[in-house]
Amino acid sequence: MLDYIQKYIDELWFLLLEMAPWLLLGLLFAGLLKVYFPQKHIDKYLGKADFKSALNGSLLGIPMPLCSCGVIPTGISFHKNGASKGATNSFLISTPQTGVDSIFATYSMLGWPFAVLRPIVAFVTGVAGGVLTNLFVKEKVKPISPFANFKLDVAAVDGTENCEENCDCTESDMDKRHSVIQVANYAFVELLQDIAKWLVIGFLAAALIAVVLPNDFFSRFQGLGLVEILVILLASVPIYICATGSIPIAAVLLLKGVSPGAALVFLMAGPATNVATITVLGKTMGRKSLIIYLSTIIIGAIVFGLLTNWLIPADFILSKIMHIHGDGEHQMLPFWLQLASALVLLILIPLGYILQKAHKNRKMEVAKGVTIKVEGMTCSHCEANVKRNLEALKGVRSVVVNSKTNSVKITGGMFSLNKIKETVNGLGYKFIG
């Protein structure tokens, strides 16, 4: 028993050493992307129900470091702010499959073939889903408001208020002045906290698989092609795991005998689908959009899984990931850098949780106003979407959101609770009051 525990701890530490440097680098890129390529510059590319909007939705989604719980409210917000259902579906399909953080981590653990395959597959399936949605889901033409070009409407789209001479500067203005702090805060506090839970679960599960699962367990499926892929797909669709957290599991599965195509299926379907996502999408985007969403991911996973097995020799892919089990000649990074990165990551995860909780508590203490309950929020991306959309409403001055307690504190002048309820429910959450 003690031998198994020791082996488990050794495997867990080894996985952490390998992934930590790339995770930190990916988080840094994600912070830069978040601050210097804000959402207000994204919305305008997603408006029309054509091929170009589907293309833009997929291109914009691939580098976004959002898991499926974060991409759903973001995508719905895009649609409410004028994005077509096709562009929205394209964004929803491509985004959770990959991201700058997961691409670097994939390169670290699975080698460059998978690091290249993941964004390609996400791009193709995203565009395909967007095009199919545009073809089969007809949208009602929205009348153009005669006030569409007024400043108030611009503020409603990008979630900021106009900063006039006699007004307080908005949070967005403060973000621009402190962009370096914003990069660090988003990358190493906000985003890291969003993926930390599933990242830890991914590490724990990967180490457990490496220790418990017999080396020949998956060998019985070798040569069965489609059957092996369908088995992995069946297990991947209902569960949730973030794109980065799925990598160590896929690496161990490969070394246990799973074919590269089946591993790719897990990397696609695991992050992109889960029961909660399916429920919310069906309610907010409609049944047809949901069917296209699921069909695109499932069929795309099967097709790309089979193509990977047919066109790329398994030995070639495995040769690129063998360095993750400690062959000194394959070591990509010096040990001191791996150790330092692992220690930094271990410090940042609990420290970020403490800082984030303290910041939310301070905001709750300072703010005074009406407090409502909203169910369905699961992460900081959900909080950001609720905050941005409610602050765009007339009479609302500031909004403080806490997904842990399902509370939303609203301050301002004359605002309509019915409009707030309509906005919250329209985003896919549930207004309690």
Q: Quick one: 337 and 396 in the same domain?
A: no
Q: What CATH code is carried by the domain that includes residue 412?
A: 3.30.70.100
Secondary structure (3-state) at 430: strand
The amino acid occupying position 421 is K
Q: Which domain holds residue 391?
A: 367-433
Q: What is the pLDDT of residue 347?
A: 94
CB contact at 8 A, 6 and 209: no
Cα dihedral value 163, 169, 171, 172, nearest 10: 40
pTM here is: 0.62
Q: Quick one: 41 and 188 in the same domain?
A: yes
Q: Quick one: 333 and 410 in the same domain?
A: no
Q: Quick one: 378 and 337 in the same domain?
A: no
Kindly state whether residue 162 falls inside one of the protein's structural domains: no
CB contact at 8 A, 390 and 234: no
- DSSP string of 293-348? HHHHHHHHHHHHHHHHHHHS-HHHHHHHHGGGG--GGG--S-HHHHHHHHHHHHHH
Q: Quick one: 325 and 401 in the same domain?
A: no
Q: Quick one: 306 and 401 in the same domain?
A: no
The angle, 0 to 180 degrees and rounded to 10, between the axes of the packed helices 68-80 and 85-94 is 160
Domain's final residue, options 320, 348, 376:
348
Kindly state whether residue 36 falls inside one of the protein's structural domains: yes
Which of 381, 431, 426 has its CA nearest to residue 407? 431
Which of 415, 423, 381 has its CA nearest to residue 398? 415
Instruction: Dig out the tokens for 214 from the structure.
Output: 């017999």
- CB-count exposure of residue 3 (10 Å: 0-12, 13-18, 19+): exposed
Kindly state whether residue 354 falls inside one of the protein's structural domains: no
**In whole angstroms, how far apart are CA 414 and each of 386, 420, 432?**
19, 12, 20
Q: What is the pLDDT of residue 17?
A: 84
pLDDT by 10s per residue, the chain, length 433: 788 888 889 888 887 887 788 778 877 877 786 777 665 665 677 777 889 989 999 998 898 877 666 677 677 767 776 788 899 999 999 988 888 888 888 888 888 899 999 999 999 999 999 999 999 987 665 444 433 333 333 333 333 344 344 444 444 454 455 688 888 888 888 878 877 877 787 778 777 877 776 656 666 666 677 888 998 888 787 766 777 778 888 888 887 788 899 999 999 988 888 776 787 778 778 889 999 999 999 999 999 999 999 998 888 888 877 544 444 344 556 889 989 999 999 999 899 888 878 776 665 544 456 889 998 888 888 888 899 889 888 878 889 999 889 999 888 767 788 888 889 988 888 888 7
Which of 54, 29, 98, 80 has its CA nearest to residue 429? 80
The amino acid occupying position 385 is N
- Per the rule left: phi > 0, alpha: psi between -120 and 50, beta: everything else, 395 is left
- CB-count exposure of residue 350 (10 Å: 0-12, 13-18, 19+): exposed
Domain's final residue, options 348, 379, 414:
348
**Domains held by the chain: number:** 2
Instruction: Give the burial string for 178-199 (b: 16+ CB within 10 Å, else e).
Output: eeeebbbbbbbbbbbbbbbebb
Kindly state whether residue 205 falls inside one of the protein's structural domains: yes
Kindly state whether residue 156 falls inside one of the protein's structural domains: no
Kindly state whether residue 77 falls inside one of the protein's structural domains: yes
Q: Quick one: 282 and 406 in the same domain?
A: no
Give me the helices (H) in 186-238, please.
192-212, 226-236
Q: Quick one: 294 and 383 in the same domain?
A: no
**In whole angstroms, how far apart are CA 318 and each of 112, 153, 229, 417?**
11, 53, 18, 57
Which of 275, 216, 207 has its CA nearest to residue 241? 275
Kindly state whether residue 403 falls inside one of the protein's structural domains: yes
Q: Quick one: 306 and 379 in the same domain?
A: no
How remote is the C-alpha of 104 from its chain's centroid?
15
Q: Quick one: 303 and 214 in the same domain?
A: yes
Q: Quick one: 239 and 296 in the same domain?
A: yes
- CB-count exposure of residue 166 (10 Å: 0-12, 13-18, 19+): exposed
Kindly state whether residue 272 falls inside one of the protein's structural domains: yes
Q: Quick one: 54 and 113 in the same domain?
A: yes
Domain's final residue, options 348, 375, 406:
348
How would you list the strands of the sheet with 370-375, edge to edge? 396-402, 407-412, 370-375, 430-431
The amino acid occupying position 47 is G
